[in-house]
Structure 1
Amino acid sequence: MLTLPAAESGRRTGRRMAWLDGLRGVAAMVVVLEHALRPLLPEAHDPVKAAFDPGWYGVMVFFLVSGYIVPASLERRGSVRDFWISRFFRLYPLFAVGVAGMALLTAVGWDDAHVWWSSRPVSMALGHLTMLQNLLYVPNVVNVLWTLSYEMAFYLLLTAMFTLGAHRASLTGALGFAAVAVLGGGALPVALLSAGGAGRMLTSVLVVTAVLAASLAAVLRGSAGIRRAGAVFLGATVLVLLLVNQSYPGPWQGLLILATMFAGTALYRAERGEITWGRAGWVALVPLAGLWLGRDEPALQTATAAAWITFAAGMALRHRRVPAALAWLGLVSYSVYLLHPLLLESVEWFWPEPATVPLGPRLAVLAGVVALLLGLSALTWRLVEAPAQRLGRRLAAGARRPPQGLPEEPPASGKGS
C-alpha cells in the first residue's frame, strides 16, 4: 500500500496536497513496523497484534488517500486513456522490481517459491500481470502485493463509472459496498470460481483476463455504444470477483476496503464543494460498519478507528505546512512498501530464531534495515519511479497530440475517451 502509487505526489500537486504525502509516509512506516515484529521483535508481536493491527491501520490510511485523490486524477484528465497510461507507469515498473527482487532471493535460497509456480505457472503469472491475484486465488509473490488487487479493482470500477457517467456517485458506492459487507460479508463464498484444482484456476484466470482486456479495449477505443458495453462488462466482472472470488483477507474486509476508497472520494467531493458536508457525513457509516464487522477482532477495530482518526486529522490540518522529511517519505512510500519485505525476508533467513538473539543486536539490525530501506527507496524513486512517471506523462501527451495538419480533437466529455 504502500504509496499506494495511486496518489498524486505532493510535489506535483503543490502544498495543498502535501498532507496526503504526510499520511502515506506515516502509513508506510507503520506497515514496516508490523512486518518487522515477527523477525526482529517476536516477543512484542502477539501483545501488539492482540490490541492493534498496525498493518490494517496502514493500508486503511493508504486506501483512504487513494480514494481521495485517484478519482480526481481521472476527472482532471478527462481521459480514460491518459488515466491508464499514468496508472501503468506508476504501478508496474516498481512492481516488476519487487517481483524480481523476490525471485532473486528465491534463486539464492533465502526464500522459497510457492509450489504453484511449478504446477500452475500460467495462472500465477497472469494473475500477477493483472494485479488481481487476490481476487483470483493466486498466492502473492511478495506478501504486500495483496493490496494492489483492491487498488486495481478500484481503478477498473472508476473507469466503468466514468465511462457510464456515474463517477460522481461516490457516496452511493461507499454506502453500497459497506451495506453488502455488513449484510452478506459473513455468508459470501471464498474463491468460488478459482478454487478446486489447477484447471479450474487456469480457466477462471484466462476468462477474467480476456474479459477485462476486451472490455478495457472497448472503453478505450470503441464507439460510444461499444464503450458503454465495455464499461458494463468491466464493472460487472470486478463486482463478481469481489462478491464470490476473494481470498485473503476475506469477503467483508475486501468489500470494506472498496467502501473506504469510495468514502475517501466522497470526502474529496465535499472538500471541493461538489456535495455538502452534511451529505458527506454519511460516510461515517463506513468505519462504523468496519467496527461492527470486526467485533470479534479488537485489533482490527482499533486499527480501523485509528486510520479514520488519522485521516480526519490530516484533513483538518491540510492547510498547515507538512515537514519536508515526512512529505519525502510519502513520495517514496511505494518503494518503502514494496521493498521492505525483501529486506525482512533476508533477516529472517539469517536469524530463523530471533528470540535467541539478544535484544540489542536486533534493535541495531532494525535500525539498519530502516536506513537501508530508505536509501534503496530513494534510489528506486530516482532510477525507476520518477523516470517511469515522466515517460508516462510524455506518452499521454503524445497520445493527445493529433497528426500534423489535423485539427485538435474537442475536449473530452464527462464519459471518457
Structure 2
Amino acid sequence: MESPPLVPASPTHLSRLGWLDALRGIAALVVVFDHSSYTFMPELRRELMPEFNTSRYGIMVFFLVSGYIIPASLERRGCVRTFWARRIFRVYPLWAAVVSALLALGFTGIVELRDFGGQGVVTVAVAHATMLQELLGTPSLLLVLWTLSYEMSFYLLVVALFTVRLHQRSAAVSVALAGLAAMSVAAGAVLPVSALSGLVGTGPLIAFASIAMAVAICCASAGSSGLRVFGGVLGGGLALALVLFNGTVPLWEGLVILAVMFLGTAVHRAENGQSTWHDAAVAAALVVACAVGSAYGFGDGDHFTRRGWIVAFLLAVLTFGAGLWSRRRRVTRVLTALGTISYSVYLVHPVLLAVIDSTMGRRRQDSLALEVAFFAVLLPLCLLTHRWVEVPGRTWGRGWARRLRSRDERQRHPASHAGA
C-alpha cells in the first residue's frame, strides 16, 4: 500500500486555497507561541499580553477561515449526510489520538490531568465525545479543546440554516449575532459560568444534549424534508442555547466568535457572487464595531485585558483581509505546509508542553533557545501525526461520503442501477 504524502499540495490546491492554508499556518504558530511562552518566555509574555492577546489573535484567524470554508463544503455537495461524514473523519481521528495520548500520560503519572470537580468518567467521556464539553459544564481535557466546542456549534448552526433555506443570509446572521453581543454588554447581561449546568445539573444536561445532538444529526441527514428541517432546527437550537446560557467565556465573546465565523462565510459568498461585496463590507464594519464596543464595555477581566483583546481582534481581521486581498498571488510553500498540518500543530503542542512542564518545569527567565528548540521538536512530530492520523481519516471520510452518495443515487434512480 502506498504511503500517503507527507504534505499533499497540488498546484490547483495551492492556487485556490493557498492563502487560507497560509493564514492557518500563521494562526497555529501564534497560538503555539502563546501557550509555550508560559514555559519558555515568561518575562516577554508578562509584557506582551496586556498589549496584544496572542491567543485571541490566533483563534480569531482560525474562526474566520473556518467560516469561509465550512459552509462552502456543505453547499458544494448539497448533502447534510456527506457533510457530517467528512467532518467527523476530519476532526475526530486526531482528536481521539491526542486525547488518548494525554490520558495514557496521565494514568502513568507523567502529566497531571485536569480536575473535573467530581464528575464521573462516563459523564466526562460523553461530554467530550460530543465535542461540546466546554458548553456542557465539563472542563476540557486540553485547554485548546474549548475552541472546538464553538466550532461544533458553528457546524450545527450552519446545518440548521441550510435545512431551512436561510444559509444565504450569512451577512445578516453575522450582524445579528454581533449586535446581540453588544446589547448583552449594554444591558449588563452577565450570566454565571455554565448557568444551565447549575440549574439542571451537569449530568442531565450532558445526557439531554448528547441525545439531542445525535437525533439532530440523524434527522438532518434523513431523506424526508420534514425530518431534515426538524433535525436542523433541533441542532441549531441546541447550539445557540448552549452558547447563550452555558458558555465558559463571557456571553458577548461567545456571540462574537459565532459572528466572526459567519462573517467569514459572508466574505466567501461575496467572492463567489452569491452576494455583493457591499453587503460583506457593511457586515464586517458592523461586526468589528460591535465586537470592539463589547470588549470595551465589558472592561478588563481576569482572562484578558481590554486593550490586548481589542488589538488582537483587529489584527486578526486585518490579517484575514490581507490574505483575501493577496489570494491570487503565489504563497510560499512553507506557509501552505504549515497550514496543512495546522490542526496537528494546534492539538499536539499542548500535550508536548504538558510533558515538559511536568518533567523539566517552567523557566523563570526567558530562553529563546528553548523556545526555538520546542518548535524544532513539535513541527516534525506534527508532520507524522498529519501523515499517519489526519490523512487516513480524511481518506476514510471521503470514501464513506462517496458510498453514501452512491446509495442515495441508487435509491433515487433504482432503474438506472438495476444492471449494476
Q: Given the two structures, how large is their TM-score scaled by the length of structure 2?
A: 0.90
- Name the residue aligned to 1:339: 348
Which residues in structure 2 correspond to 1:278-289 (within 5 Å)? 278-283=278-283, 284-289=285-290
**Which residue of 185, 191, 194 maps to 1:191?**
194
By how many angstroms is 1:237 displaced? 1.4
By how many angstroms is 1:223 displaced? 1.8
8 Å Cα contact 1:188-1:243 kept in structure 2: no
- Name the residue aligned to 1:390: 395
- Name the residue aligned to 1:309: 318
Give the letter for the 1:46 counterpart.
Answer: R
Q: Against the structure 1 CA distance between its residues 209 and 12, is the aligned structure 2 distance closer, same or farther, given a 3 Å change threshold?
A: farther
Q: Deviations over 1:226-274 (max 9, x none)?
A: 2212222221111111111111x22111110000000010011111111
By how many angstroms is 1:14 displaced? 4.5
Q: Against the structure 1 CA distance between its residues 80 and 195, is the aligned structure 2 distance closer, same or farther, given a 3 Å change threshold?
A: same
- Name the residue aligned to 2:368: 363
Give the letter for the 1:192 counterpart.
Answer: A
By how many angstroms is 1:17 displaced? 1.4
Which ranges of 4 or more aligned residues in structure 1 deviate by more than 6 Å?
8-12, 403-407
Q: Against the structure 1 CA distance between its residues 232 and 406, is the aligned structure 2 distance closer, same or farther, given a 3 Å change threshold?
A: closer
By how many angstroms is 1:363 displaced? 2.6
Which residues in structure 2 correspond to 1:205-354 (within 5 Å)? 205-221=206-222, 223-247=224-248, 249-283=249-283, 284-295=285-296, 296=299, 297-354=306-363
Secondary structure, in 3 states, of the residue corresponding to 2:364?
Answer: helix
Secondary structure, in 3 states, of the residue corresponding to 1:50?
Answer: coil
Distance in 2 between residues matched to 1:38 and 1:205, nearest whole Å: 32
8 Å Cα contact 1:402-1:409 kept in structure 2: no
Q: Against the structure 1 CA distance between its residues 71 and 84, is the aligned structure 2 distance closer, same or farther, given a 3 Å change threshold?
A: same
* More displaced 10-residue stretch of structure 1: 267-276 or 343-352: 343-352
- Name the residue aligned to 2:101: 101
Secondary structure, in 3 states, of the residue corresponding to 1:143?
Answer: coil
By how many angstroms is 1:290 displaced? 1.6
Give the letter for the 2:342 counterpart.
Answer: S
- Name the residue aligned to 2:201: 200
- Name the residue aligned to 1:138: 138
Secondary structure, in 3 states, of the residue corresponding to 2:183?
Answer: helix
Secondary structure, in 3 states, of the residue corresponding to 1:398?
Answer: helix
* More displaced 10-residue stretch of structure 1: 96-105 or 30-39: 96-105
Distance in 2 between residues matched to 1:205 and 1:288, nearest whole Å: 35
8 Å Cα contact 1:27-1:57 kept in structure 2: yes
Q: Against the structure 1 CA distance between its residues 404 and 45, is the aligned structure 2 distance closer, same or farther, given a 3 Å change threshold?
A: closer
By how many angstroms is 1:188 displaced? 4.4
Stretches of structure 2 that go unaligned for 5 or more consecutive residues are 1-7, 300-305, 416-420
- Name the residue aligned to 1:29: 29
8 Å Cα contact 1:28-1:337 kept in structure 2: yes
- Name the residue aligned to 1:83: 83
Give the letter for the 1:320 counterpart.
Answer: R
Which residues in structure 2 correspond to 1:369-384 (within 5 Å)? 369-384=374-389
8 Å Cα contact 1:10-1:327 kept in structure 2: no
By how many angstroms is 1:107 displaced? 2.3
Stretches of structure 1 that go unaligned for 5 or more consecutive residues are 1-7, 411-417
What is the aligned-residue identity percentage? 40
By how many angstroms is 1:345 displaced? 1.5
Q: Against the structure 1 CA distance between its residues 119 and 135, is the aligned structure 2 distance closer, same or farther, given a 3 Å change threshold?
A: closer
- Name the residue aligned to 1:39: 39
- Name the residue aligned to 2:125: 125
Give the letter for the 1:227 counterpart.
Answer: R
Distance in 1 between residues matched to 2:101 and 2:216, nearest whole Å: 32
By how many angstroms is 1:12 displaced? 7.0
* More displaced 10-residue stretch of structure 1: 65-74 or 219-228: 219-228
User: Cα RMSD over matched residues?
Assistant: 2.1
By how many angstroms is 1:142 displaced? 0.7
Secondary structure, in 3 states, of the residue corresponding to 2:141?
Answer: coil
| Matched positions, count | 396
8 Å Cα contact 1:85-1:395 kept in structure 2: yes
8 Å Cα contact 1:25-1:333 kept in structure 2: yes
Distance in 1 between residues matched to 2:414 and 2:152, nearest whole Å: 29
Secondary structure, in 3 states, of the residue corresponding to 1:294?
Answer: helix
By how many angstroms is 1:123 displaced? 2.0
Q: Against the structure 1 CA distance between its residues 293 and 397, is the aligned structure 2 distance closer, same or farther, given a 3 Å change threshold?
A: same
Distance in 1 between residues matched to 2:408 and 2:313, nearest whole Å: 51
By how many angstroms is 1:406 displaced? 6.6
- Name the residue aligned to 1:4: none
8 Å Cα contact 2:212-2:234 kept in structure 1: yes
* More displaced 10-residue stretch of structure 1: 236-245 or 329-338: 236-245
Q: Against the structure 1 CA distance between its residues 11 and 159, is the aligned structure 2 distance closer, same or farther, given a 3 Å change threshold?
A: farther
- Name the residue aligned to 1:401: 406
Distance in 2 between residues matched to 1:192 and 1:265, nearest whole Å: 30
Q: Given the two structures, how large is their TM-score scaled by the length of structure 1?
A: 0.90
Q: Against the structure 1 CA distance between its residues 407 and 139, is the aligned structure 2 distance closer, same or farther, given a 3 Å change threshold?
A: closer
